[in-house]
Structure 1
Amino acid sequence: STLESNNMVLGIDEYLNKKSKDKEIDFIAFKKYYQRIYKKTGSEYKNWVDEIANSRYENEVALRERFPKQIPYKKFNSKHKLYIFGHSLDITDKDVLRDLILNDNVYTTIYYLNKGVMGQQIANLVKVIGQDELIRRTGGSTKTIEFKLQAKLVERKG
């Protein structure tokens, strides 16, 4: 690949405060959101987020029509599944991760390699969605996030 044809996004997180981030743009080319836009790699997920949100509404309307006396409808909504493998969940991807993980119609399974990796993923996720949201979404009736140990790689011959 050449510099022009490479669409790999490697960038830094926003480090400026809200007032300065839109004015001080000397290093904008190093920020992930800029690279996603510039290299045209980063907006497809927005369509998925909209589709997921709309499907929840459509499911609820259909259930209300079919079972007018049935309550609560939320328990019958089908959840979309999000599987995350080999991702640090670092704050540099906060914009994408928040839109997907905080969607109430998404059940997220995060795979980890070992307990050390899991601990780092949890710490990073706190930076992305906040500790209260993480606690709410990892247990009880509001659970939408699950951590699973990644199975060992099985080599296949042939």
Structure 2
Amino acid sequence: MADTILILGNGFDIAMGRKTKYEEFIEFTNDLSSRKKYIVNFRKFIKPYKKIKLSNYKDNLYLKFINENKDNLGENWSNLEIMISNLADAIMYFKENSNDLFNHNVNESDKDYLRRLKNKLRRTNNAIAKIFVVEKFYEFNSTKNWNLLQRDDALEKLNTEFINQLDLLIELLEIYLSYIDFLDFKVNKIKPSPTALDAVNGLSRSYVLNFNYTNTLGRLFHSFKERTHFIHGQINLGRPIGQINTMVFGIEDKEVNVNSDLIPYQKYYQRVVKETGNKFEEFFIKRNYTVKNTSVVGRAVPTRVPVSKNIVIFGHSVDSLDKEIFQKSFALAEEGGYPYRFIFTYFDEPAKRSIIKNLAIILGKEKLIELTGKQNVVFVKSDDKDGMKEVLLP
């Protein structure tokens, strides 16, 4: 029987009926000061965690940016990673064009100059994020006395403020997901929902590359933790004081050279600092064998042959944010010396088109055509159990 490597994204948790979408998290953060029943229950859940002070998470800059500009941000308004990227890019723009922020030789800005600057920025790319950063800069310039600093120092303070706010956003996301874990597994005791994965024999014995912070597969299908790599870390609200939060939540590394201003936002840097490692590579390198009878001069001779690997991607958009991991996975499978097949599941046709587009960016168009032609890459609807059975390597 073939080995199975599962690559899981948030779509897996959603398919299991879990409220792990970014918009659900954002709704939760907006309701934190309300008396809604689920918030009242949340406050009871969080009370034993004495180290957590919810006041620390009030007016988070990233959430404020989304809430203030939701109507103008388009369909990606709730994609926190895109919003983080836009704001980081806006900060870098002003670090490279610092004169735009200042009225000639004066560190303070009058309302008329600010209005003209905003009008100028509206005609540029990423205008909404740039205008938000400008507004926050001048707010902090006044409230935190940054106007007394050298310009470069004030801009460094701005960057540090957004980095600190990102850390707080990650902490708040961990709190939310921990509460969802409590509701789903302790209160509601949810059961697995049917998906195409039901066709995979021995699902609990699979090797798992998990992009999620939650262990939904382990909770519902009793997969083995030692066979699971939480590549972006895992929620652990009860960890001892001083132990690092391992959750990786940031943006793509777009540059060849290291940008010291940007690296705290970037996933690769966070993976290094939080030591999430590359354990998943072992899943592709590890080669198991079986014995098959081969006909040699009319006689059946037992022969040791490598076991096939089915690499099933479920609930992941294959976004370029994670391109390095997918590129490494494809390279290791190709070098592995065993028959392999990447099986990408998709929710609907637009999702399938998006996955194909992202694969073309990650692998190159010609390589993708080659792999689909050889059936090393195939696509199955996420609820099609029979379709999954047909494409699984034996």
TM-score strictly above 0.5: yes
Greater relative CO, 1 or 2 (CA 8 Å, sep 6+) = 2
User: In the alignment, which residue of structure 2 is the partner of 1:43?
Assistant: 278
Q: Go from structure 1 to structure 2 and tell me whether the alpha carbon gap of 1:144 and 1:124 turns closer, same or farther (over 3 Å shift).
A: same
TM superposition shift of 1:5: 4.1
Q: Go from structure 1 to structure 2 and tell me whether the alpha carbon gap of 1:67 and 1:92 turns closer, same or farther (over 3 Å shift).
A: farther
User: In the alignment, which residue of structure 2 is the partner of 1:73?
Assistant: none
Q: What are the equivalent positions in structure 2 for 1:113-128 lying under 5 Å apart?
A: 113-128=347-362
Aligned-pair RMSD on alpha carbons?
3.0
Higher helix proportion (structure 1 or 2): 2
Structure 2 gaps, min length 5: 1-236, 298-304, 385-394
User: In the alignment, which residue of structure 1 is the partner of 2:252?
Assistant: 13
> Which amino acid in the other structure matches residue 252 of structure 2?
D
TM superposition shift of 1:115: 0.3
Q: Does the CA-based 8 Å contact 1:110-1:147 persist in structure 2?
A: yes
Q: What are the equivalent positions in structure 2 for 1:8-157 lying under 5 Å apart?
A: 8-16=247-255, 18=256, 21-22=257-258, 24-51=259-286, 55=287, 77-102=306-331, 103-104=333-334, 105=338, 106-139=340-373, 142-151=374-383
Q: CA separation in 1, counterparts of 2:295 and 2:265?
A: 52
TM superposition shift of 1:49: 3.0
TM superposition shift of 1:10: 1.7
> Which amino acid in the other structure matches residue 254 of structure 2?
Y
Relative to the length of structure 2, the TM-score reads 0.30
Show CA shifts across 1:100-121 (max 9, x none): 1342243111100000111111
Query: How many residues of Structure 1 are paired with residues of Structure 2 in the alignment?
Result: 133
Mean Cα deviation higher: 34-43 or 120-129: 34-43
TM superposition shift of 1:7: 2.2
Show CA shifts across 1:42-70 (max 9, x none): 4111222332xxx28x78xx99xx7789x
TM superposition shift of 1:32: 1.2
Q: Does the CA-based 8 Å contact 1:85-1:111 persist in structure 2?
A: yes
TM superposition shift of 1:92: 1.4
Q: Go from structure 1 to structure 2 and tell me whether the alpha carbon gap of 1:77 and 1:68 turns closer, same or farther (over 3 Å shift).
A: farther
TM superposition shift of 1:36: 1.6
Q: Which has the larger radius of gyration?
A: 2
Q: Does the CA-based 8 Å contact 1:113-1:149 persist in structure 2?
A: yes
TM superposition shift of 1:28: 0.8
Q: CA separation in 1, counterparts of 2:349 and 2:270?
A: 32
Q: Secondary structure at the match of 2:322?
A: helix
Q: Does the CA-based 8 Å contact 2:253-2:268 persist in structure 1?
A: no
Q: CA separation in 2, counterparts of 1:42 and 1:147?
A: 29
Structure 1 gaps, min length 5: 70-75, 153-158
